[in-house]
Amino acid sequence: MPDAALIQASIFPAELTLLRAAGLVFAAGLVAFVIWRRREMSNGAVLLALLGGMALAIVAGTELVDAVLEAFAFERGNGERILGLAVFAIAILFLLVLRALTESARMNQQLSALLEGLAWEEFRNAKLPERFRGRVAVVIPAYNESDSVAAVIARMPSQVCEVDTAVLVVDDGSRDGTADAAARAGAIVARHVINRGGGAALRTGYRLMSESGALVVVTLDADGQHRPEEMERLVKPILDGEVDMAHGSRVLGDADPDSRSRELGIIFFNRVVSFITRTKVSDCSNGYRAVLTTVLPQLVLRQEQFHTSEFMIEAIKRGIPAKEVPVTVDKRLSGHSKKPAVVRYGLGFTNAIVRTWLR
């Protein structure tokens, strides 16, 4: 049997350097802190912190890491050990980041489901579903649009293709009286207690209308860029049985000039979506659309903000009959756009397209 002294010498360092001592002190402090604050931390956080403290103690107080590095051909000298530690540290960091992103996505989905559930319970308890059953439901997501939402509602037709309409405004955590302005204008209002984004507001609206038994759901913006007078162009092909959804297109129709960068961005993303879906798409960023309500449960919608391309790509992937129709996009009635800056908007739009297509 190997001599105990030799085993001990091979495991523990011959000299306790200042760096090793600092590592051991930090590891002990981390473990002590976790034990002290464990009641305030989740089980996963406690376990992760304890494992981190133990790993640091092993690295600082033993030679076991050297044996592992040698197994992966990281020899002593020329900085190879430091390189090996960096490689392993990056791999562990990557796994931790991946876990954090996964947990964040799960929590976001739970929060969205909670907001939708609360909105539906309030909607149902107020006996509002009957107001939309068998009608063309117009869903308007709104965030801080008190200056324009009433004017948009006032232009809403009472009938489209001889079918009665009803208006639902989903107030996405506004702080400027948007909900009150919409209610005074005659719309039914559903509320999110916090701002989650236009995509989240539309998901809530879609759920409420699906549960209410609306015939067709039309979505348009609260800022006055879409013309309610053109709604029949979207609804008629659906009621005629031609398609199950109709997307508005400013390219086929008309639009007030926008910044050059945004116009080029629309052209670029239209080509990207057309390429990956093998379907001609002329306007993938237009939120003015109509959809047969019974189709909505087939769609997987997760985007909080960049929802227009997600909706279109999802519909194409599911093989839902659809067409684009010409509509007009005007300038906002008031206020400023809630869209992020050009670079951030482009990155977010790209992320939405890629994630929707790959899932």
Are 228 and 220 in contact by the 8 Å Cβ rule? The answer is yes
pLDDT grade for 3, boundaries at 50, 70 and 90: low
Which of helix, strand or coil describes residue 250?
A: strand
- Which one has a higher pLDDT value, 270 or 63? 270
Structure tokens at 57: 């103690």
CA distance 87 to 329: 52
Q: Say whether both 15 and 163 belong to one domain.
A: no
CA distance 91 to 79: 19
Residue 206: pLDDT above 90? yes
Q: Say whether both 348 and 227 belong to one domain.
A: yes
Which of helix, strand or coil describes residue 195?
A: coil
Point out the domain boundary residue: 47, 68, 103.
103
pTM surpassing 0.85?
no
CA distance 274 to 139: 27
Residue 210: C-alpha distances to residues 129, 187, 214, 240, 258 (Å): 10, 18, 6, 20, 35
What is the pLDDT of the chain when averaged over all its residues?
87
Residue 28: pLDDT above 60? yes
Total domain count for the chain? Answer: 2
Q: Say whether both 236 and 320 belong to one domain.
A: yes
Q: Say whether both 206 and 338 belong to one domain.
A: yes
The proportion of the chain whose per-residue pLDDT surpasses 90, expressed as a percent, equals 52
The mean per-residue pLDDT over the stretch 191-204 comes to 92
Are 213 and 293 in contact by the 8 Å Cβ rule? The answer is yes
Q: Say whether both 276 and 346 belong to one domain.
A: yes
Q: Is the residue at 99 inside a domain?
A: yes
278-311 residue pLDDT tens = 999 999 999 999 999 999 999 999 888 889 999 9
Q: Is the residue at 173 inside a domain?
A: yes
Residue 70: pLDDT above 50? yes
pLDDT grade for 68, boundaries at 50, 70 and 90: confident
Q: Say whether both 224 and 306 belong to one domain.
A: yes
Q: Say whether both 179 and 327 belong to one domain.
A: yes
342-357 residue pLDDT tens = 778 888 888 889 888 8
Structure tokens at 240: 């005629």
Q: Is the residue at 310 inside a domain?
A: yes
Q: What CATH number did the domain enclosing 257 receive?
A: 3.90.550.10
Q: Is the residue at 115 inside a domain?
A: no
81-95, 105-119, 189-203, range with the lowest pLDDT: 81-95
pLDDT grade for 77, boundaries at 50, 70 and 90: low
Q: Say whether both 22 and 137 belong to one domain.
A: no
Q: Is the residue at 118 inside a domain?
A: no
Structural domain harbouring 171 = 126-358
Q: Say whether both 137 and 283 belong to one domain.
A: yes
Q: Say whether both 319 and 218 belong to one domain.
A: yes
Gap between the terminal Cα atoms of the chain: 56
- Dmax over CA atoms of the chain, in Å, equals 95
Strand partners, 247: 289, 324
Residue 184: pLDDT above 90? yes
Q: Is the residue at 209 inside a domain?
A: yes
Q: Is the residue at 138 inside a domain?
A: yes
Point out the domain boundary residue: 103, 138, 165.
103
Residue 9: pLDDT above 70? no
Q: Say whether both 295 and 344 belong to one domain.
A: yes
Q: Is the residue at 83 inside a domain?
A: yes
Q: Say whether both 98 and 145 belong to one domain.
A: no
To which H or E segment does residue 187 belong?
Answer: none
The mean per-residue pLDDT over the stretch 159-179 comes to 95
Residue 345: C-alpha distances to residues 54, 117, 305, 351 (Å): 43, 29, 10, 10
Max avg pLDDT among 89-103, 147-161, 303-317: 147-161
